[in-house]
Amino acid sequence: MATLLKGRQGLRALGLLGSALQGEVAALGFTAAAPSTGRSTSAAGLSLRDALQAAWARGYAAAALPAGVTEEDKAALSDTRNIGISAHIDSGKTTLTERILFYTGRIHAIHEVRGKDGVGAKMDSMDLEREKGITIQSAATFCRWKDTHINIIDTPGHVDFTIEVERALRVLDGAILVLCSVGGVQSQSITVDRQMRRYDVPRVAFINKLDRAGADPWKVIRQMREKLRLNASAVQIPIGSEDSLKGLVCLVTRKAFMFEGSSGEKVVEVPVPANLQEEMERRRQELVEHVAEVDEQLAEHFVDEQLAEHFVLEEPIDGDMLQEAIRRSVLALKFVPVFMGSAFKNRGVQLLLDGVTDYLPSPLDVNNFALDLDKEEEKVLLPCSRSGPLVALAFKLEEGRFGQLTYMRIYSGVLRKGDNIVNQSNGKRIKVPRLVRMHADELEDITEAAAGDIVAMFGVECSSGDTFCDANTTLAMTSISVPEPVMSLAVAPKARDQSANFSKALNRFTKEDPTFRVAMDAESGQTIISGMGELHLEIYIERMKREYKVDCEVGKPRVNYRETITRRAEFDYLHKKQSGGQGQYGRVTGYVEPLPAGHPTKFEFENGIVGNAIPPNFIPACEKGFREAVNAGQLIGHPVEGVKVTITDGAAHAVDSSELAFKLASMFAFKQAYDKASPVILEPIMNVEITAPNEFQGTVIGDVNRRKGIIMGSEQEGDDVIINAHVPLNEMFGYSTGLRSMTQGKGEFTMEYEAHMPVTGDTQSELTSQYKAARAAAK
């Protein structure tokens, strides 16, 4: 206890007891402790510790089950975990998943991601994934660890496939954030953390690759606190490091473990090494303080100075008490316990699985909300119960061997094979033809699934993000956040007889992946595909070739520019046309102005007319006209964003005014004001993180400057330098080849979309000239 009193000063002020608890202790007749014993007893003979525990038990009795949840639900779901494994590329997510499947008995042999046996990891079932050694599609599986049923989704680490992470986190209850012990918190780690925050996903962290030279888990934890702003602390310390990594010490229980057997399958408890005793107590104290900062029940064990003069607890915080406090803090999104190990060397995975059971939520611990479509999308808390109405979300589509495979998370009720259910997005009633559990690309038929399950359904036409309910329910789950594509390519099949398969492939890919878009260029007649980056589009072109036997001709990559205005401008436009019979007449007056930076919408329309200068029934037509006008700007024909249009006046004709007249008037009015509003072109700027040996630092920075990039910072990491820069996407094509040649093949980089920013004056002149020349040539 004395050591606890030396904890953080802020905790001393919390005190041991609330007023009610003090009253209970006093009522038991406690007297001040004699200096010689340091203990106090009640008239009933109870020790102070027993009395306090009894009072705590009364004050913090187990909460009642949530409304709508039955004891049957509790029995069925309290040992279920729906988790995802997410991280920066090459942090070891798929290797970790492979070990989890092996130790839980789902697979009987370990295969490496880039293994020489040519088999590849179980969860990388696509040929492309095995060839490239990366995860492209999230893969689902399930396993059992001791008494816990675990549904796992292994997600890609490459930023081009960020939608796979986004939709997995949308439906999961908890996650494992994997970090490399050498690379630490990297760019995609920050993106994944942001996605976890967006969906309020509790997480544990796993610092992987402790067997690598230069491994430093304490540096990674510091980066988690500084870069990710997480309240994180280790729950383990390693026994040995790098090549000599032998085992781990659990700080919660003060026990040490070694991993024996050819694949580390035997977890053996051993005495804590003498040279680690002091560090164990110091790190445990740090863990207790970090948890106590966010957990009131644990904080109460930090005695204030006044009470400490009278009472001394017989024991400090024990393992069970600390474990419960960590679980409460993780579920409240206030703490991240950090596990350690090496998945490749089979160290620490079983203890991480124990941590998943101990600290991550069951479906009962998570609040899920639906929108009631009958009550203007009012937010409704959805109990995770078999007895509730059926509510299931389709979060991922895949073309399987037997038709479309729809991955679903069931939030409420029971889904049975043969049931009639309703797709809330289009009102269509469908029959469930086949239900399966997924194990990577293998299927296991089931007859029913209930609240808390993640399953797949065959032969149902739907889109990603659709909600399925029973006939009497009008609830819908909130949709998934989909980022805008940043890059486009013109594609066409090389042979005419491949056109049908080409269309089939594009239709399938757009249904599967919301970030993959297809459009026709009205002027050139070309098919334009858009996505999140070079690798993203390259993968789809390769899949067309392999899965649909379509060879594509690919045009030069095209950046998805945007246009915007920089100042307010007025418009006053009269659309008047008379050519026999009913004419067209519509006049709109008002102004356009830029929306403030960071505004959540890209276009805003406001009706500022006082009176009925424009009849109210024509106002929607005006808005429609302005919305169509912003689809193509006048500088280079790209969409206009960040604009607010306000109409203040207008005029209508009793006979000649119509919706079409006001729609056309609005479109021409926008064009009239656009030139006067100082329009600019916006280009996508990428956040680029480059890692290269120190000796190439000057060359790499010089090349970034040549590409019109801005260096945001750099830091040393052993013999490497990590450079952060913001670079226009248009300058990043072919960068991987350039970086390899600059650094003798030793450099690597990752990039993700940062924002659209104005281009320089000379670039704007050049882009505008090219656009005018292309239009003239098309005519």
Residue 145 neighbours by CB under 8 Å, 6+ apart: 100, 103, 104, 353, 354, 356, 357
Q: Is 93 a known ligand-binding residue?
A: yes
52: tokens are 């306090």
Handedness of CA 216, 222, 227, 228 (dihedral sign): positive
- Count CA within 13 A, CB hemisphere, residue 329: 28
Residues 6+ apart with CB under 8 A from 487: 530, 531, 532, 533, 534, 536, 537, 557, 558, 559, 560, 684, 729
State both tokens at 212: 């690598």
94 is in an annotated binding site: yes
The residue to which tokens 């899949």 are assigned: 543
- Count of positions (residues) in the chain: 779
Is 127 assigned to a binding site?
no
The annotation status of 417 as a binding-site residue, yes or no, is: no
Is 89 annotated as belonging to a binding site? yes
Question: Is residue 154 a known part of a binding site?
Answer: yes
Query: What ranges in 581-734 are assigned the alpha helix state H?
Result: 619-629, 659-676, 697-706
State the greatest distance between any 2 C-alpha atoms of the chain, in Å, as a whole number: 112
How do strand 80-87 and strand 174-180 relate by DSSP bridges? Answer: parallel
b/e code 16-41 from CB counts within 10 Å (16+ = b) = bbeeebeebbeebebeebeeeeeebb
Question: Any binding-site annotation on 200?
Answer: no
Residue with tokens 């024996």: 260
The answer to the question of whether 441 is labelled as a binding residue is no
Rounded distance between C-alpha atoms, residue 152 and residue 182, angstroms: 26
Phi, psi of 705 (to 5 degrees): -60, -40
Residue 494 known to bind ligand: no
Provide the angle, in degrees to the nearest 10, between the axes of the packed helices 277-292 and 319-331.
40
681 is in an annotated binding site: no
Q: Is 614 annotated as a binding residue?
A: no
420 marked as part of a ligand binding site = no
Is residue 111 part of an annotated ligand binding site?
Answer: no
Which string of DSSP letters, residue by residue, matches 304-354?
Answer: -HHHHTT---SS---HHHHHHHHHHHHHTTS-EEEEE-BTTTTBSHHHHHH
92 is in an annotated binding site: yes
Nearest 10 degrees: CA dihedral of 499, 500, 505, 507? Answer: 110
Amino acid residing at 466: D
Residue where the block lists tokens 């962290």: 205
Q: Rounded distance, CA 164 to CA 660, Å?
A: 42
Residue bearing tokens 């008995």: 105
Whether residue 653 is annotated as binding a ligand: the answer is no
Binding residues for GTP: 87-94, 154-158, 208-211
Binding residues: 87-94, 154-158, 208-211
